[in-house]
Amino acid sequence: MYNSAVVRGSDHIGRRLPGQEITVPSIDSQGWNDSFSHFQEDRLQDLVQLELIRESLIAVVGEMRANIIHSSYAPIIYEGHDFSCALMSADGRQVAQG
């Protein structure tokens, strides 16, 4: 199906990792254009889903912020809005902030 070329793998910094090889199709191989057009359609769907999820997470943080403002007794919170809300993942990485 593809004319393959063997390439040495490297990590995200660009250093070579010993013993790792990956097989990638050469660009001039038959069927590359078919695979690429399918990739573009999948990528577009993924980008739309990503944007929907991103906006939903931002809306969740916005609702958190509104609830804190409405339920707070401290003037620095309900008048000054001097606080921040964040949604975190299970491993502690920030997902959304507002």
Within 13 Å, how many C-alpha atoms sit on residue 56's CB side? 6
> Can you give the pLDDT at residue 47?
85
Any idea where the domains of the chain sit in the sequence? 1-30, 43-97
**Angstrom distance (rounded) from CA 92 to CA 61:** 16
**Angstrom distance (rounded) from CA 24 to CA 4:** 6
Residue 49, helix vs strand vs coil: helix
Q: What is the pTM of this model?
A: 0.53
> Can you give the pLDDT at residue 94?
92
Task: State which amino acid sits at residue 66.
Answer: A
Structure tokens at 72: 């707070």
pLDDT tens string 4-63? 444 444 444 444 455 555 555 455 555 555 555 666 677 777 888 889 999 999 999 999
